[in-house]
Structure formats: structure tokens, C-alpha cells
Amino acid sequence: MDNYDLHNHSTRSDGLLSPTELIELAARLGVDAIALTDHDTTDGLEEADCAARRAGIQLVPGVEISVSWGDTTLHVVGLRVDPRAKSLAEGLERIRTGRNARAERIAEELAKLGIEGTFAGAYALAKNKQMLGRTHFARHLVEIGAVKDIQAAFDKYLAKGKPAYVSHRWASLEDAVRWITEGGGVAVLAHPGRYRLKPMMRDEMLGDFKRLGGEAIEVVTGSHRPEEYPAWQRLAIEHGFLASRGADYHGPGESPAEPGALPHLHDSLTPVWHNWVQ
Ligand code: AMP
Ligand code: MN
Ligand code: MN
Ligand code: MN
């Protein structure tokens, strides 16, 4: 069985490895096809493509788009996207704008809690200065000893409902799916278990995503606990979605699984890659 891992990050968003380092790691780990899916940018795909050719591994060009669906932030992964497609490039550019202003507001909330200077700290950690995000704040909070690890930074300060959470308007679900599909890509709902929606809202979300052209949902992902896999497997089948698998790898020591290391999809599912020819 081919080892597909269709969700991974690099330094072009909030990962710790460069696109080249990520691809080389995946090749060493025996991954056959890897998607680079940085948040709201396709910047790393060119470098990843060169590295993949050298390493003899298949690169699936991807992106993970931040979406506001009502008050809920969703992530939509685009696979086999065309980074030169105008609507995608322009749409991503628009959602990147505003990240720094949001980061300043996060820093203000942290300052009110007595933690000063976090904008500069997080900014220094972001390799791509357009892509400053909560992960960079989390790393900075660990660095200065405010929390013991990244998870604690989210649990105590940065997650929705916590004191330094700042709500933000991202792309609409409709736009995100359209930007992906217009260029010939496949829209995949990332880590649906992360949104913690009650069954009615969850079904509404899956229904909206499907109606707008979404084709697949992630079932096996580093952002689901293994005990969550069966429920999302059932929901994929019930709602007629293809299934995807990806580590959501951010870097050494920061992710539950390395690229390609998670369990394979259950036989009852149709993988999102079922009709891809190399
Ligand atoms: P942002 O796009 O700036 O809101 O950052 C979102 C990123 O923060 C996600 O892609 C994850 O990498 C990370 N993240 C979000 N929530 C959590 C959480 N509860 N625990 C750990 N990391 C998280
Ligand atoms: Mn991330
Ligand atoms: Mn995500
Ligand atoms: Mn991700």
C-alpha cells in the first residue's frame, strides 16, 4: 500500500523545517507522496518540488486555508492546487493581510496579563513575516518560560475562549473551496474533530462543505486522537466524502506523528487519492 501523507507544514507558515528539510525527512521515512500544506500560502511549493525531484518522492502541491464559518474557524486543505491560479493567489494574499494586526492584538492581551514584549518575540520566530500566527506566540511563551510547552500555551492563553484569543475574519467557506477547485484542486476539510461542534452543527458544517464542492474530509490526522478515527470514518461514509490522511506535521518534538507514520485509512473508506495518476 502506498504511503500518502497529505498534510504537513514548513517554515513558510508555522512549521519548523524548511520545505527541503521536510521533503528529505519524508523521503527518509519511506513516504511515497507528501503534500506541503502551509497555512494560507503556496510559497514553499517551488522549493518543495525541486527537493521532491531530487529525493525521488511525489509532491502533492497543497495549501491549508483559514476559513470563518459563522463564529467557528475551520481549516480547508487544498490538494493538487495550482499556485499560479489567479483566484487562489489573490485570495490567499488577502487573508494573509491582517495577520500582523491580529498579532499585535494578541500581544496586547498578553501584556494585560503581565507578559510584555510578545509581538517582537513571536515576530522574531516567524521565518515568513507575512505568516505570523499563534504557533509563533506559543513557541515564544515556551522560550521565556511562561508555559511548559506549546499545548499549555494554547490551553492557558491562545485557544478560543482563553484570555489572549483574538477573533479574526478569515476567508468564507465558499471562497476557499472555489479558489481550490477553480484551479483543478480538491478541497478537503482538515481535522474535523478539532472544531468540537455538537452533532447538529457538525452535520450542518459537513452539509455546507459538500454543497459548496468539498470532496473529502481528514479521518486519520495528527490533529485527531486515535479514538476519534472511527467516528469520522463513519461520518465520511454517511456524508459521501472521500477520506484523507496526514500527519499535520509541524516539526521535531511538536507533533504527535512524523510524516507517514500514522495508521493507514480503513478499507471501508475511499482515499482521496483513489483516482490520482502519478
Ligand atoms: P493561527 O492560524 O495563527 O490561528 O494558528 C493556528 C495554528 O495554531 C494551527 O495550525 C496549529 O498549528 C496551532 N494550534 C491551534 N490550536 C491549537 C491547540 N489547541 N494546540 C496546539 N496547537 C494549536
Ligand atoms: Mn499550524
Ligand atoms: Mn489546521
Ligand atoms: Mn495544519
Q: For the segment 51-71, what is each residue's pLDDT rounded down to a tens digit? A: 999 999 999 999 999 999 999
DSSP label at 142? H
How many whole angstroms separate alpha carbon 96 and alpha carbon 84? 17
Q: For the segment 203-240, what is each residue's pLDDT rounded down to a tens digit? A: 999 999 999 999 999 999 999 999 999 999 999 999 99
pLDDT at 278: 65
Q: 76 CA to middle of ligand 3, Å?
A: 8
Among protein residues, the one whose CA lies closest to atom 13 of ligand 1 = 135
Among protein residues, the one whose CA lies closest to atom 6 of ligand 1 = 134
Among protein residues, the one whose CA lies closest to atom 3 of ligand 1 = 133
Query: Burial level of 228, CB count in 10 A (0-12/13-18/19+)?
Result: middle
Determine the Cα angle at 220 with ends 12 and 158, to 5°: 50
Q: 192 CA to middle of ligand 1, Å?
A: 14
Pocket of ligand 1 from Cβ distances under 6 Å? 14, 39, 66, 133-135, 150-151, 154, 159, 250
Residue 42 has pLDDT above 70, yes or no: yes
Q: What is the residue-averaged pLDDT of the chain? A: 97
**For the residues of 203-231, what is the DSSP string, one character each?**
HHHHHHHHHTT--EEEEEETTS-GGGHHH
Best of 10, 134, 141 to mutate for ligand 1, by most ligand atoms within 8 A of CB?
134
User: Sorting pLDDT into bands at 50, 70 and 90, what band is 277?
Assistant: confident
Given a contact cutoff of 8 angstroms between Cβ atoms, the answer to whether 60 and 34 are in contact is: yes
Residue 44 has pLDDT above 90, yes or no: yes
Best of 7, 13, 14, 75 to mutate for ligand 1, by most ligand atoms within 8 A of CB?
14
Q: What are phi and psi of 47, to 5 degrees?
A: -60, -40
Q: Which cell numbers hold the place of 53?
A: 525531484
Q: 171 CA to middle of ligand 4, Å?
A: 16
pLDDT at 26: 98
| Number of the ligand closest to the Cα of 76 | 3
Among protein residues, the one whose CA lies closest to atom 12 of ligand 1 = 135
Q: 275 CA to middle of ligand 4, Å?
A: 24
Q: 259 CA to middle of ligand 2, Å?
A: 15
Atom of ligand 1 minimally distant from the CA of 168: 4
Q: 64 CA to middle of ligand 3, Å?
A: 7
Atom of ligand 1 minimally distant from the CA of 136: 3
Give the sign of the dihedral formed by CA 32, CA 38, CA 40, CA 45: negative
How many whole angstroms separate alpha carbon 63 and alpha carbon 61? 7
Q: Which residues contact 87 (CB under 8 A, 6 or more apart)?
A: 178, 179, 182, 183
Q: How many CA atoms lie within 13 A of 269 on its CB side?
A: 25
pLDDT (average), residues 142-151: 98
pLDDT (average), residues 30-37: 98
User: Sorting pLDDT into bands at 50, 70 and 90, what band is 38?
Assistant: very high
User: Sorting pLDDT into bands at 50, 70 and 90, what band is 1?
Assistant: confident
Atom of ligand 1 minimally distant from the CA of 150: 21
Which H, E and C letters describe 143-199, residue by residue?
HCCCCCCHHHHHHHHHCCCCCCCCCCCCECHHHHHHHHHHCCCEEEECCHHHHCCCH
pLDDT (average), residues 84-112: 97
Q: For the segment 177-206, what is each residue's pLDDT rounded down to a tens digit? A: 999 999 999 999 999 999 999 999 999 999
Atom of ligand 1 minimally distant from the CA of 75: 10
Q: 93 CA to middle of ligand 2, Å?
A: 18
Task: Name the 3-class secondary structure at 246.
Answer: strand
